[in-house]
Amino acid sequence: MAQYTGVPVSPGRVIGTIRSMAPPVAEPPAKEALPEGADREAEASRIPAAASAVQATLGRLAERAQGEARKILEATAQMAADPSLTQTAQGLVHSGGKTPERAVWEAGDQVATMLEGLGGYMAERATDVRDVRARIVAELRGEQAPGIPESEEPFVLTAIDLAPADTATLDPERVIALITSDGGPQSHTAILARQLGLPAIVAAKSIHEFADGTEVFVDAGLGTITDEVTEEHQHFAEAWAELQRNPLTYEGGGGVLGDGTRVRLLANIGGAKDAAAAAAANADGVGLFRTEFLFLDREDEPGVEEQTAAYAEAFTHFPGKKVVVRTIDAGADKPLPFLTDAEEPNPALGVRAYRTSWEKRSVLTNQLDAIAAAAQSSDVKAWVMAPMIATVTETEDFVSLCRERGLEPAGIMVETPAAAVTADRHLGACDFASIGTNDLTQYTMAADRQLGSLAHLNNPWQPSVLALVKATCDGARTAGGDPEAFGESANKPVGVCGEAAGDPGLAVVLVGLGVNSLSMTPRSLPAVAKVLSTVTLDQARELADRAVAARTAEDAVSAVRAGLPILGELGL
């Protein structure tokens, strides 16, 4: 028996056979050449044959894919059929005596460099060329092609990590669970898994000890993988399979606890398209509107009119409902050429988010003007908050800017331990707080959330992180509130909009700590609502106490899951 542990990022319990993603194709040695007297014509002829095989494989994958994924695969298949790559490679075999593998590698570099020099759309095709090059080399060597393996049967995918391009071929009908040895809870792999509702574990360092074909039980809620499959595991897996056949639904109106306590269940969005999907999922509003979608990949700041139109379009999907708008969160992993310093030695601890307004005030004031105009043209209940707040002076400054524009309520993101432990003073100066558990965890644990090697630290179940959530809620009670003004409790409202809110077990803990609203990816709404319905507020508080008092994050998870039998019944 072997059991390995990683960081859980998307719950679910399954039994399946492991299939490993092939590692990146190694570059053939630069001096690799054909032996003296080799038949160069025969060797060169292997290249178009390998390219045709790659084209056929990509074509089959495209036929099974949908939407944008299908377009990506079809375009890549066309690139494999492009004679410019194969003819260039064949020339290197004939004239230079290169091996077919080395010739394809060098020819791919030449074609990609040429496309990059053309700029624009053609430059974007350079990545496709290098992908095709690697696939042809793998075909010539008789190796597994890079990317997700083909299999007629559903399987558990293991990988070092998924590149963004790999996600185009990730079919949840075939991949029933995803386990990576690298990556972290906020990696694109983890985000994709949550969006798909795919059981997933990251940072499982020893997962590759399991050979392909090994049958395993994956508990993606606990973060464990074992090759000893028991009857209890079969029961859990059957419960998860039944949940997939008959998924839970959410009709809106908030999560209602067993004693009638109601918790708002909101959605995280990044623009109008996301807002439409969230509304279709019956979210009770928006708990996090990430406005930086409009700023990314641009050399210049978008104008007030453009911003106003974009925000107003998103607002149309939630008439009469609460939409919490976060002002631009630039910096760290989201640098902007017109706002942030690319040369900062430690951008996660640098001039990011609200702090960019210290030197470039107009970017923030222009955005607030646009939000105010968009709110006035719609009937949403627009709440506005600033990210990366550390001092009460910063809170007071931001609130004053909002008040000048008639933007109320005005609040802050609690992402720094400084804001959490002085929450009573912050909430005395603003109207509400929203806890960003992703950043709060990284700053509490002093662990860069982009580093897979620190993924075990970047876990929102860390008792120290939960203690800071409690401190924030305690501060809200001290500050008091005005339920008539904002339709919340008598305390200043505290929400959670980080990934932690979408974990059904952790959602119970957060409510028990005093959180008023939870915001998540829309797919998580039904499960969170269902699990909340099985506990009273007193029971949630008891489970929260257990989690905060736990010795480790793993102990906190185990203690809470032991008190929530519904998770096992649903296979979560």
Phi/psi of residue 98, each to 5°? -70, 150
Residue found under tokens 């690799």: 32
Q: Which of 94, 188, 456, 473 is catalytic?
A: 188
CA 63 to mean position of chain CA atoms: 27
For residue 415, the tally of other CB atoms under 10 A from its CB is: 26
CB within 8 Å of 67: residues ≥ 6 apart: none
Identify whether 497 is a catalytic site residue: yes
Which of helix, strand or coil describes residue 262?
strand
CA distances from 220 to 176, 238, 240, 286, 534 (A): 11, 15, 11, 27, 21
**Looking up tokens 């079969």, which residue turns up?**
234
* DSSP output for 87-112: HHHHHHHHHH-B-HHHHHHHHHHHHH
Main-chain dihedrals φ then ψ at residue 65, nearest 5 degrees = -85, 170
Give how far Cα 257 sits from Cα of 124, 261, 534, 537, Å: 50, 5, 7, 7
Q: Of 510, 325, 349, whose CA–CA distance to 439 is shortest?
A: 349
Contact 358, 317 (CB under 8 A): no
Is residue 235 part of the annotated active site? The answer reads no
Radius of gyration, alpha carbons of the chain: 26
Of residues 363, 421, 364, the one with CA closest to residue 391: 421
Token pair of 347 as six digits: 């951008």
User: Which residue has tokens 């390998």?
Assistant: 50
| Token pair recorded at residue 195 | 């969006």
Beta-carbon contacts of 183 under 8 Å, excluding residues fewer than 6 positions away, are: 161, 162, 189, 190, 202, 203, 452, 455
Question: What distance in Å separates the CA atoms of residue 409 and residue 376, rounded to the nearest whole number?
Answer: 14
The per-residue DSSP string of 314-345 comes to: HHTTSTTSEEEEEPP--BTTB--TTTS-TT-S
Strands 175-180 and 200-202: parallel
Q: Which helix (H) or strand (E) holds 286?
A: strand 285-290
In contact, 259 and 542? CB cutoff 8 Å = no
Active-site annotation holder among 402, 430, 473, 497: 497
The residues annotated as belonging to the active site are 188, 497
